[in-house]
Amino acid sequence: MPTKTEEKTSTERKGKYYYSNGKRKTSIARVRLYEKGKGDIVVNDQSLNDYFFGELIGNAKAPLKLVDMLKSFDVIVKVTGGGVSSQADAVRHGIAKALTVFDPGLRLVLKRAGFLTRDSRTKERKKFGLHRARRAPQWSKR
């Protein structure tokens, strides 16, 4: 576990940053991109590799990798709601939107890759008389 001094330096960074929200399902990621960074990505006071696992790490880093700015920024993210996969997609969406705030010229590249489009699919609401959104009670003929 990191000490208090390490934790403060990673999350309470001073200086100019570019802010954006990223969303997916019920997850919301509040992203700050700090200029002149070393490429550190901190999610909820943990490093990206500690918070996410497997391909979710690459998924969250994808916009920075696409525009070849992986080592140009320090990224601090606060993410809430949903599951880990949904949170990783929300982080990706937030980083992509913050990059367009930094440089509007990157918008076309990120848009073509599909990183700026918010995936609006959410869970369908349950209807009365049914078990779930569409699952009906078992029917018997007699």
- Give residue 17's identity as a one-letter amino acid code: Y
- Phi/psi at 12 (5° precision): -105, 55
Asked if residue 103 is part of any domain, the answer here is yes
- In which domain, by residue range, is 36 found? 4-113
Q: What is the DSSP letter of 69?
A: -
Domain membership flag for residue 67:
yes
- How many domains is the chain partitioned into structurally? 1
> Strands of 41-43's sheet, edge to edge?
17-24, 27-34, 74-80, 41-43, 46-47
pLDDT tens digit string along 26-76?
999 999 999 988 999 999 999 999 999 999 999 999 999 999 999 999 999
DSSP 81-108: SS-HHHHHHHHHHHHHHHHHHH-GGGHH
pLDDT in tens, 84-127: 999 999 999 999 999 999 999 999 999 999 999 999 999 999 99
* CATH value at residue 23: 3.30.230.10
Cα 90 to Cα 27: distance, rounded to the nearest angstrom: 6
Q: Is residue 128 part of a domain?
A: no
Q: Is 20 domain-assigned?
A: yes
Nearest C-alpha neighbor of 84 from the set 44, 53, 50: 53
- Alpha-carbon distance of 91 to 79, in angstroms, equals 7
Residue pair 74/11 in contact by the 8 Å Cβ criterion: no
| Residue 105: per-residue pLDDT | 94
Asked if residue 125 is part of any domain, the answer here is no
pTM of the prediction? 0.85
Q: Distance between CA atoms of 133 and 67, rounded to whole angstroms?
A: 41
> Which residues are 22's β-sheet partners?
29
Asked if the structure places residue 41 within a domain, the reply is yes
